[in-house]
Chain A
Amino acid sequence: MKYQPVIGLEVHVQLLTDTKIFCGCSTKFGSEPNSQTCPVCLGLPGALPVLNKKVVEFAIKAGLSTNCSITPRSIFARKNYFYPDLPKGYQISQFEDPICQWGWLDIKVDDGETKRIRITRIHMEEDAGKLVHGELSGRDDGSGVDLNRACTPLLEVVSEPDLRSSDEAVSYLKQLHQIVTWLGICDGNMEEGSFRCDANVSVMPVGSSTFGTRAEIKNVNSFKFVKQAIEYEIQRQIDLIEDGGTVVQETRLFDPNSGTTRSMRSKEEAHDYRYFPDPDLVPLVISDQWVERSRRELPELPEQRQQRFMNELGLPLYDAEVLTASRALADYFEAGVAAGGNAKTVGNWIMGEITRALNDTGTPIESCPVSPGQLAELLQLIDNSTISGKIAKTVFDEMWKSGKAPQTIVEDQGLVQVSDSGAIESIINGIMAANAGQVEDYRGGKEKVFGFFVGQVMKASKGKANPAVVNELLLNKLKG
């Protein structure tokens, strides 16, 4: 029998606010344990939460960018369970009436088609702290609690079970990742857990309209692992059914070392979270004006920017996609064009030389040592025949290393292209005299040796001879 996988994703997005969601403590990563805490995030008796407005603004931006409706009156709820990293014994989250609802993303599937994936909801919540095992407590068997991360703001983005393959899941996840990093509301660091995902996976016979029993897979923290975990889980469920077994509803943990999932807790062991509205927080009322203001403040999103690059700057689809991989990259490209570069050429250089140099040195585009203005200047030197495309690459390497302007490098190193026909002609004469045999060959019909002469001339001119002039003069001379 053939099976159809059905997948829904729950993505946790850690927000890039300076302070926590319900107190004024810093959200900085990697500080001394418990150094960024106060009565509120320690859950001390008597402490009360106060909502960070920035979190709401970020949530609205995320909602608008994923085609959600913004809930005019949303409610915070308590999710009750005991765990040492959860100081209050409950997590403040949203349950009924989350801030964003009923959105969607159009993802790209094979053959360039798009598919609409519905987003059920986006809600705001606080993160928990984390447990530190071992030496910290001074006992081998001891464990410590670090509450620096407690109360850090998160968005949870929940999709409908509209995804039908691991590739679709990854495509959806990448697009969501691109949007939240593009908006600047999340650093997107999956290894540090700033963007993490749980996957609900089930399978059903092809043609069926009834979903199978789902398993929830936790702890998948890279695109590669998402694909691996979903594929493993699909196969596990199919094998189970084929062997006459049944899939049970449970939470499973992905193990990145083995690439497998294993049972964490069954439905019977699932918590009863006893959600109820948090009486310490008043309902969050968001006016139409607030939503409209946020809408106006939204940056141009990747999709829109791709379209504009294609329609206004004449880029092909592939270039437009690559150049909108991140907002910083797209900004770099546009700055290069604005500084006078030809769009297609600027794009080629970014996708070629610049990407290569960035990758080789592990530099993010934001810290690229060659500014978009400098890149445009370099390209102008090619356009006005001051240097050749080949020399330009040498100049670029020097710019990357020294940060100097291209004009300065060209002048300092004497790299100005030689277009003077007299100078080039004398080089050609010398080379033809020294290679009389090849001249005869050419004239006898072996036109392939033409390349040999070009190479010799360029070599003799240290690459500075204008290739167009060289070609023209050589052709005339050789034909005699």
Chain B
Amino acid sequence: MNIFDMTIHALHAALKGKRVSSVEATTAMLERISSVEPQVGSFITVTPEQALAAAAAADQRIARGDCDLLTGIPLAIKDIFLTEGVRTTCGSRILDNFIPPYSATSWEMLRGCGAVLLGKLNQDEFAMGSSNESSAYGTTRNPWNTDYIPGGSSGGSAAAVAASEAVATLGTDTGGSIRQPASHCGCVGLKPTYGRVSRYGVIAYASSLDQVGPLTRDVADCATMLGAIAGHDHKDSTSVDTPVPDYSSSLTHGVKGLKIGLPKEYFISGLDADVQVAMDAAIETYRRLGAEFVDVSLPHTDYAVATYYLIATAEASSNLARYDGVRFGHRAEAEGLLEMYTKSRSEGFGVEVKRRIMLGTYALSSGYYDAYYVKAQKVRTLIMNDFTTAFADVDVMLTPVAPTAAFKIGEKVNDPLQMYLSDIFTIPVNLAGTCAMSLPAGFSAAGLPIGLQLIGKPFGEETILQAGYAFEQATEWHTRKATI
């Protein structure tokens, strides 16, 4: 097996058994990146020198007998995470020259375990998009078929795993930005419960929805990564101080007697036939494994996309005000202050970011606030209540991740509404603040991956990881590799 195709647990065993060094593994990954990047474009910045230095340090650590599960493992992270001394663009021209003076807590935790950073991954600009087409650094391509989008906004994070350019990656998920690209690229992606992972040092898109999570080759790796980044951070007031379970040790508990809800609003008649087939097969697999299915209802699902595009854009319009050219980032040449603001932001932001800033500014404006922002918050509460009610009867819910497999590059770029609707099954989870995971569950007729979504109760990551692991053990979807 190629080193670059290994999972975290396989490479960890090899590192620990001294069959391979971290420098060798890192070198193999860097060579793989060089060979496939021209076709995929997962990275905005590759950091070979820092990576090899970190790998050498990890090898010394391993030689001392100090080998954590992530020590010496070459990873890559979305360019939304601040990395001290390494350029962080968030996919935007406005941060093209931004070198942060500090690092995100989640990356610091991985680094503390001895993980090696290969570089920073492509994404939709400021995480606003579902296709990676809004990146100022070119569109990442789907490794399964490079005419197709990888999904977004963590498109680079999913494509890098699928193309074996990193053993595992970190992404962020505001309305589906981990799960939808994981689904489109055939990897595992988990959005933890809001507050489970620190947001400190993660460039904010919509603060009440943003959450950090891993994208990996299999569920066991996902458990390892989540265990490494979860936990309370005193620098993030919204991070929650509840104990972090040992996700890895309980993976094999199985699903016998597990009650799985099927929300009827997610199995609509218009669902893509390939997706429907994959869902039916998954339900059959779980039945065979001993799980019970219960029909549930999430009655306010229809309002989720509209609610999301009011709350997320409102928060974004405020979060993105700091990119004004005064202290960091792009500053346009200008005569006066107003012109500097206007030109810097006009030149620095792309069209989708501008669209969302305008939407959000409008939603918060005097005279419209109650009709839009306040009403959206009320609907958000109803959506949360939907989940609470449904979870009174079930342990997890099973749904598609996206209505279709990946679409072609350019297909929806001029139709924002169609693009927004591709997140219809993922957005409600962010509004409810709970956790969900995407895992490989089949392929479309065109040979593109289809993902299955397992939604858990708040802080129920352990349960969805167990259910995901059981499914993975019973199927082969996750073993298929993109042929790039």
* Chain A contact residues, CB within 8 Å of chain B: 39, 42-51, 78, 80, 82, 84, 87-90, 145, 272, 274-276, 279-282
* Contact between chains at B361 and A43 (CB < 8 Å): no
Residues of A near B201 (CB, < 8 A) are: 46-47
Task: State the CA gap A237–B98 with chains docked (Å).
Answer: 52
**Distance in angstroms between the alpha carbons of A43 and B201 in the assembled complex:** 11
Asked if A274 and B366 sit within 8 Å, CB to CB, the answer is: yes
Within 8 A of A (CB), among B102-119: 102, 104
**Chain A: which residue is nearest B325 at the CB level?**
A84
- Sampled A-B contacts (20; CB under 8 Å): A42-B327, A43-B327, A44-B322, A45-B203, A45-B322, A46-B82, A46-B201, A48-B237, A50-B234, A50-B235, A78-B318, A80-B318, A89-B318, A89-B324, A274-B361, A274-B366, A276-B373, A279-B238, A279-B315, A280-B237
Q: List the B residue with the shortest CB-CB distance to A280.
A: B207
**Are B200 and A272 in contact, with the CB atoms below 8 A?**
no
Q: Tell me which residues across on chain A come within 8 A of B235, comparing CB atoms.
A: 48, 50
The residue from A49, A88, A274, A281 contacting B322, defined by CB atoms under 8 A apart: A88
Pair A45/B234 contact, Cβ less than 8 Å: no
Docked pose: A103 CA to B199 CA in angstroms: 38
Task: Supply 16 further A-B pairs (C-beta < 8 A) apart from A89-B322, A276-B364, A280-B237.
Answer: A44-B328, A45-B82, A46-B201, A47-B201, A50-B237, A51-B237, A80-B321, A84-B326, A87-B327, A88-B322, A89-B321, A89-B324, A274-B361, A275-B364, A281-B238, A282-B237
Decide if B238 touches A90 in the complex (CB within 8 Å): no
Q: How does the 8 Å CB contact mask read for B231-254 relative to A, with 1 for contact and 0 for none?
A: 000111110000000000000000
Query: B123-165 interface mask toward A, CB cutoff 8 Å, 1 = contact, 0 = none?
Result: 0000000000000000000000000000000000000000000
Closest approach, in angstroms, between the C-beta of A290 and any C-beta of chain B?
A: 18
Asked whether, in the complex, the Cβ of B100 is within 8 Å of the Cβ of A82, the reply is: no
Who on chain A is nearest to B337 by CB?
A84
| CB pair A47 B327 closer than 8 Å | no
- Flag if B238 contacts A280 (CB, 8 Å): yes
Tell me whether A82 and B237 are in contact in the complex, defined as CB-CB below 8 angstroms, given that A39-B102, A45-B90 are known contacts. no
With both chains docked as a complex, state the minimum distance between the C-beta of A360 and any C-beta of chain B, in angstroms: 48
Residue of B nearest to A50 (CB): B237
Contact partner, A48, options B236, B317, B337, B369, Cβ 8 Å: B236
Is there an interface contact between B327 and A80, defined as CB atoms closer than 8 Å?
Answer: no
B166 shortest CB reach to chain A, Å: 21
Chain B residue nearest to A76 (CB atoms) is B237
B95 on interface, CB distance cutoff 8 Å:
yes
B204 at the interface (CB under 8 A from A): yes
In whole Å, how far is A265's beta carbon from the nearest beta carbon of chain B? 14
The answer to whether the Cβ of B202 comes within 8 Å of any Cβ in the partner chain is yes
Asked if B364 contacts A39 (CB within 8 A), the reply is no
Bound Cα distance from A90 to B314, whole angstroms:
13
Interface centre among B82, B235, B236, B322, by most chain A C-beta atoms within 10 angstroms, is B322
Contact between chains at B199 and A90 (CB < 8 Å): no
Kindly identify which residue among B98, B236, B314 contacts A45, using a CB–CB cutoff of 8 Å.
B98
With both beta carbons as reference points, the residue of chain A lying nearest to B234 in the complex is identified as A50
Given that A82-B341, A282-B237 are known contacts, is A39 also in contact with B101, CB under 8 Å in the complex?
yes
Q: What residue in chain B is nearest A42 (Cβ atoms)?
A: B327
Q: How far is the CA of A272 from the CA of B234 in the complex (A)?
A: 33
Contacts A82-B341, A279-B315 given; does A88 touch B98 at CB 8 Å: no
- Across the interface, which residues of A come within 8 angstroms of B101, CB to CB? 39, 44
Contact, CB under 8 Å: A88 / B321:
yes
Within 8 A of A (CB), among B280-318: 314-315, 317-318
Residue numbers in A under 8 Å from B95 (CB-CB): 45
- The answer to the question of B444 belonging to the interface, with a C-beta cut-off of 8 Å to chain A, is no
**Residue among A46, A78, A82, A88 with the most chain B CB within 10 A?**
A46
Contacts of A90 in B (CB 8 A): 318, 321
Kindly identify which residue among B200, B322, B337 contacts A87, using a CB–CB cutoff of 8 Å: B322
Closest to A34 in B: B327
- Specify which of A43, A89, A145, A274 is in contact with B364 (CB 8 Å cutoff): A274
Q: Name the residue of chain B whose CB is nearest to the CB of A282.
A: B237
Indicate if B365 sits at the interface (CB-CB under 8 A): yes
CA of A275 to CA of B368, assembled, Å: 12
Q: B202 to A46, Cβ gap below 8 A?
A: yes
Our pick among B200, B314, B315, B324 for the contact of A47 (Cβ within 8 Å) is B200
Is B208 at the interface (CB under 8 A from chain A)?
yes
Chain A contacts of B328 at CB under 8 A? 44
What A residues does B438 contact at CB under 8 A? none
> In the complex, A436→B157 CA distance in Å?
117
Interfacial chain B residues near A39, Cβ < 8 Å: 101-102
Taking the nearest CB of chain A, how far is it from the CB of B99, in angstroms? 11
Are B365 and A272 in contact (CB-based, < 8 A)? yes
Task: Name the A residues within 8 Å of B71 (CB-CB).
Answer: none
A interface footprint on B79-90 (CB within 8 Å = 1, 0 otherwise):
001100000101
Type the 1/0 row for B175-211, where 1 means its CB is closer than 8 Å to any CB of A: 0000000000000000000000001111110111000
A280 and B326 CA atoms in complex are apart in Å by: 23
Residues A46 and B204 in contact, CB atoms below 8 Å apart: yes
Between A145, A272, A274, the greatest number of chain B beta carbons within 10 A of the residue's beta carbon is seen for A274
* Chain B residues, Cβ within 8 Å of A275: 364
Of residues 340 through 374 on chain B, the ones whose CB sits less than 8 Å from some CB of chain A are 341, 361, 364-366, 369, 373
| Nearest CB of chain A from residue B210's CB, rounded to whole Å | 9
A115 to B69 CA separation, bound complex (whole angstroms): 71
Q: How far is the CA of A16 from the CA of B429 in the complex (A)?
A: 43
Contact A276 B326 (CB under 8 A): no
Give the residue of A45, A46, A78, A145 whose beta carbon is less than 8 angstroms from that of B326. Answer: A145
> In this complex, what residue of B is CB-closest to A49?
B237
